[in-house]
Amino acid sequence: MTASSIQPENDVSWRDTVAQSALRLPAIVSLFIWSIVPLLMTIWFSFRRYNLMEPERTGFDGVGNYRYLLSDPSLTSAIGNTVLLVCSVLVITIGLGTLLAVLYDQEFFGRGIARVLVLAPFFIMPTVSALLWKNMMMHPDYGFLAFLMRSVGLKPVDWFAVAPLTSIIIIVSWQWLPFAVLTLLTAVQSLDSERKEAARMDGANAFNIFRYILLPHLERAISATVMIETIFLLGIFAEIYVTTSGGPGFASTNLSFLIYRYALLEYDIGGASVAGLVAIVLANILAFFLMRSFARNLDV
Amino acid sequence: MATVKLVEIRKAFDATEIIKGVDLTIHDRELTVFVGPSGCGKSTLLRLIAGLEEITSGDLFIDGQRVNDVPPARRGLALVFQSYALYPHMNVEENMSFSLKIAGVDRDERKRIVLDAARILNLETYLDRKPKELSGGQRQRVAIGRAIVRNPRVFLFDEPLSNLDAALRVRMRLELTKLHHQLGATMIYVTHDQVEAMTMADRIVVLRAGVVEQVGTPMDLYHHPRNLFVAGFIGSPRMNFLEATVQQIGPTGAVLDLGQAGELHVPSFEHAPQGKKLTIGIRPEHLTLATPAQSSLSAQVQVVEHLGSESYVYVQAISGESLVLRVNGETTVRPDQEVHLNLNPSFLHFFDANGDAIPAKRLS
Ligand SMILES: Nc1ncnc2c1ncn2[C@@H]1O[C@H](COP(=O)(O)OP(=O)(O)OP(=O)(O)O)[C@@H](O)[C@H]1O
Ligand SMILES: [Mg+2]
């Protein structure tokens, strides 16, 4: 310590604050630019006439893009599809994931291999797994499901034509189940065995222990899984692109695919920007509800 | 009326036998303490009684009924865990009433029973709190409350006080003893702390490596340990041991050779043949300071611990053994001082080469 550093305390802290702020500034500024500028540009474009097919038509359009998009029935169906997709996949992966986590917590022969296998789908790229399901599982002629149905004498179903959104829900659930199993299994394993034994002494059977001891214990892990999955599920794109291309009609178009359709199939950047803003609003509404119902568990 | 009877109980994990044939009767309304060094199988034995582990062989009877195949909840026992094992997402009331809820007791009745238990344990004001908002001692009481609520035939405790600080441990020890009298219940209490065992127990079971070494009242074990292990385990500070050889046996008693420490005259000692090797045991309070004329057993003082009312003097005898004396708190003995020790012949314990006590009657 040199003599010059021994100064009245508030003086030192004032200098510290300035120095710290100066050091923090680059990070804050770049983060600000990184997150705010695209948003501002999106908002800017959403008020402009901007169609790549009609480069000569530019200028302000006021709320034209908004009026156009909000009156477009495909928007409501895309919002509905997005919510349905996210919620269904959440229910399936968390539900099945919890059961599998409990199962994989038990001792049984071949558990090590089973655990590796259940995690495998997570390591397959979305495009690849969608192709896999499209051509090898759900194809009406040579898909595995068609084979199964034929072998019991049923007529094979053209999954992507008959139930496009359901098919995509199945594919995405298959991809995200391992993630849920992984996080929930860790949580199941962290349950103190004495707590289970105490419940057994209290007369609880396996179901009681699951319902009153394990589920409350899993609450935080489930919350975290729901949040993380939601963030990714809102933007599902590759699976749709590869399998149904959003069709038939708009039956399997979610918001991110709708944005793609506007921007790159109809070259309507203005319209796509509005759809993007709708997506942001939707994500925030979902996030708000998630936070309210789950986030309080995270800081217990 | 609740008795527990163990007949030839054995428990093996994989190939390792942990409990090696335990025969034991736990009497009605008694507080029986299982005590023994870490890893000797106390918890395992308790868990066998509770039904949390399966008995490998042998029979377990509760009130005369064989319960080997009865599931834990139906044995009518309550177990208080060392870690308390409270349900963290439930408040105190829900923790205590969980077993009643499972049993289908209706809400008002549950509330009444929990309140009764809470009153006994002074927990009335904490019923709404979650376990994490309680102190260690309060959590401990909730765990006990959870047991009381079930009105069990036998209470089982597995080292319930070992997570508490020293002062609280002494207080809870007292409260548990009071509770035992108040409820008039049969209790089995596991601890590795022989002070807890001595102070709380009606009857102590000393375990070593899965075998019962001795069963008896605290005073029984203190005054008549059956072998070296029990003698060394019960009592604090621990009993002193000296090696000796029987030198000569005469009508007035025997003369024991303590090696460099000289000779020791003891009252008649008939059945020990001359030349037999023995271990002499003597409690710290029966080893006293003497003048050189009175005793040829000299020793060097190493450490003096002052506890106020009494002092422990740790010495090294001339023959090499480390010994400890319990003396008056005002003692003026200082480290490095040379002292002479007197062994009171009427309080000696003798053990043969196998470590078994040579019964007192033979010493007349
Ligand atoms: N589930 C198990 N599988 C294998 N070995 C076990 C199991 N439970 C206990 N043991 C072994 O049994 C022995 C006795 O364990 P136990 O927990 O009964 O000891 P303890 O007397 O309660 O000791 P402590 O005072 O440390 O609690 C130990 O050697 C332990 O390793
Ligand atoms: Mg133990």
CA of B27 from ligand 2 middle (Å) equals: 22
pLDDT of residue A295: 60
- Please tell me the predicted confidence (pLDDT) of residue A297: 59
User: Residue B103 is nearest to which of A203, A212, A216, comparing CB atoms?
Assistant: A203
Q: Left if phi > 0, otherwise alpha if psi is -120 to 50, otherwise beta: which for B40? A: alpha
Cα–Cα distance list, B3 to B6, B32, B51, B186 (Å): 10, 11, 16, 8
Residue B233 has pLDDT above 50, yes or no: yes
Tell me the mean pLDDT in the region A65-79: 81
Give the Å distance between the CA of B73 and the centre of ligand 1. Answer: 22
Residues contacting A273, CB < 8 A, separation 6+: A42, A43, A45, A46, A50, A65
pLDDT at B306: 92
- Under an 8 A CB cutoff, do A197 and B77 touch? no
Q: What percent of chain A has pLDDT over 90?
A: 18
Chain centre distance of CA B262: 35
- Find the mean pLDDT for residues B19-32: 93
Grouping H, G, I as helix, E, B as strand and the rest as coil, residue B280 is strand
Quick one: pLDDT band at residue B362, thresholds 50, 70, 90? very low
pLDDT at B272: 65
Interface of B with A in 104-163 (CB under 8 A): 146, 150
Dist. CA A86–CA B34, nearest whole Å: 57
pLDDT of residue A300: 44
What angle do the packed helices A73-105 and A164-189 form, to 10 degrees?
Answer: 40
C-alpha span between B44 and B30 (Å, rounded): 21
For the stretch A192-251, pLDDT in tens is 889 999 999 998 888 999 999 999 999 888 988 888 888 888 888 888 888 888 878 888
Q: Return the bridge partners of B298, or none.
A: B340
Q: State residue A296's pLDDT score.
A: 62
State the pLDDT at residue B54. Answer: 92
* Among B302, B351, B352, residue whose Cα is nearest residue B322: B302
Dihedral of alpha carbons A276, A279, A284, A290, sign: negative
- Whether residue A158 contacts residue A140, with contact meaning beta carbons closer than 8 Å, is answered with yes
**Considering only CA atoms, which residue is closest to atom 8 of ligand 1?**
B44
CA distances from B341 to B236, B259, B298, B338 (A): 19, 15, 6, 10
User: pLDDT tier at A3 (50, 70, 90 boundaries)?
Assistant: very low
Residue B46 near residue B190, CB atoms below 8 Å? yes
Which of B16, B34, B44 for mutating ligand 1's site (highest number of atoms within 8 Å of CB)?
A: B44
Return the pLDDT at B112: 92
Question: How much is the pLDDT for A298?
Answer: 55
Query: Which chain B residues contact residue A195 at CB under 8 A?
Result: 85-87
Q: How far apart are CA A290 and CA A234, in angstroms?
A: 13
The SS3 assignment for B120 reads: helix
- Taking chain B, what is the end-to-end CA distance rounded to the nearest angstrom? 41
HSE-CB for A292 with a 13 A CA cutoff: 6
Average pLDDT score over residue span B242-248: 85
Residues contacting residue B286 through CB under 8 Å, at least 6 positions apart: B343, B344, B347, B348
**For the ranges A56-65, A123-132, A237-246, A275-284, which has the lowest average pLDDT?**
A56-65
Amino acid code (one letter) for A73: P
Q: Are strands B349-351 and B65-66 parallel, antiparallel or unpaired?
A: unpaired
Report the atom number in ligand 1 closest to the C-alpha of B14: 4
Q: Are A99 and A184 in contact (CB under 8 A)?
A: no
Residue B191, strand partner residues: B35
Query: Among 2.40.30.260, 1.10.3720.10, 3.40.50.460, 3.90.180.10, what is the CATH number of A63-298?
Result: 1.10.3720.10
The protein residue whose alpha carbon is closest to atom 28 in ligand 1 is B39
- A201 and B98: CB-CB below 8 Å? no
Task: Identify the H or E element spanning B155.
Answer: strand B154-158
* Separation of alpha carbons A250 and A248, rounded Å: 6
Mean pLDDT of B86-113: 92
- In angstroms, what separates the C-alpha of B254 from chain A's closest C-alpha? 56
More confident residue, A47 or B204: B204
Per-residue model confidence (pLDDT) at position B363: 46
In this prediction, residues B233-243 reach a mean pLDDT of 91
d(CA B47, ligand 1 centre) in Å: 10
B42 C-alpha to center of ligand 2: Å? 6
Contacts of B77 in chain A (CB under 8 A): 201
Q: What are the residues whose beta carbons fall under 8 Å from the beta carbon of B244, sequence distance 6 or more? A: B256, B257, B258, B259, B264, B277, B278, B279, B280
Ligand 1 mean position to B35 CA, how many Å? 14
Residue A20: is it exposed, middle or buried by C-beta count within 10 angstroms (0-12/13-18/19+)?
exposed
Separation between Cα atoms, residue B93 and residue B106, nearest integer Å: 14
Instruction: Give the pLDDT confidence of B163-203 residue by residue, as tens digits.
Output: 888 888 888 889 889 989 988 899 999 998 888 999 999 99
The two counts, helices (H) then strands (E), for chain A are 15, 0
Q: Which residues of A277-299 are buried (b: 16+ CB within 10 A; e: fewer)?
A: bbbeebbeebeeebeeebeeeee
Complex-level ipTM: 0.81
User: Which CA distances in Å does B326 have to A15, A136, B30, B275, B296?
Assistant: 64, 85, 32, 32, 20
Mutate to test the interface with B, among A192, A201, A296 (most CBs of B within 10 A): A201
Residues facing B252 on adjacent strands? none
Do A192 and B85 make contact, defined as CB atoms within 8 angstroms?
Answer: yes
What pLDDT does B364 receive?
A: 40
Q: Write down the pTM of the prediction.
A: 0.79
Chain A residues contacting B via beta carbons under 8 Å:
192, 194-195, 197-204, 208, 212-213, 216-217, 219
Ligand 2: centre distance to CA B213 (Å): 18
Q: What is the pLDDT of residues B109-132, one digit of tens each?
A: 999 999 988 988 888 899 999 999
Task: Indicate the average pLDDT of chain B.
Answer: 88
Among B43, B46, B48, B52, the residue to mutate for chain A (most A Cβ within 10 A):
B52
B79 contacts in A (CB within 8 Å)?
Answer: 197-198, 201
pLDDT band at A10 (very low <50, low <70, confident <90, very high): low
Give the pLDDT score at A1: 41
Residue, of B223 and A73, whose pLDDT is higher: B223
Average pLDDT over residues B218-241: 92
Inter-residue contact B150 to B99 (CB < 8 Å): yes
φ, ψ of residue B323 in degrees (nearest 5): -125, 160
Q: Which atom in ligand 1 lies closest to the alpha carbon of residue B36? A: 21
> Across the interface, which of A201, A212, A219 has its CB nearest the CB of B79?
A201
Q: Are strands B277-282 and B240-250 parallel, antiparallel or unpaired?
A: antiparallel
∠ Cα B171 B174 B178 (to 5°): 140
How far is Cα B37 from Cα B193, in angstroms, rounded to an integer?
9
Partner-chain contact A199 B98, CB within 8 Å:
yes
Which domains occur in chain B, in start order? 4-226 (3.40.50.300), 240-351 (2.40.50.140)
For residues A188 and A159, which has the higher predicted lDDT (pLDDT)?
A188
- Ranges of each domain in chain A: 3-46, 63-298
**Which atom number of ligand 1 is nearest to the Cα of residue B40?**
21
Q: How far apart are CA B86 and CA B78, in angstroms?
A: 14
Q: Model confidence at B101, in pLDDT bands (50, 70, 90)?
A: very high
**A2, pLDDT greater than 60:** no
For ligand 2, an ion, list residues with CB under 5 A. B 43
Pocket of ligand 1 (CB under 6 A): B 13, 18, 36, 38-44, 192
For residue A101, give the nearest of A230, A250, A214 by alpha carbon. A214
Task: Check CB contact under 8 Å for B78 and A194.
Answer: no
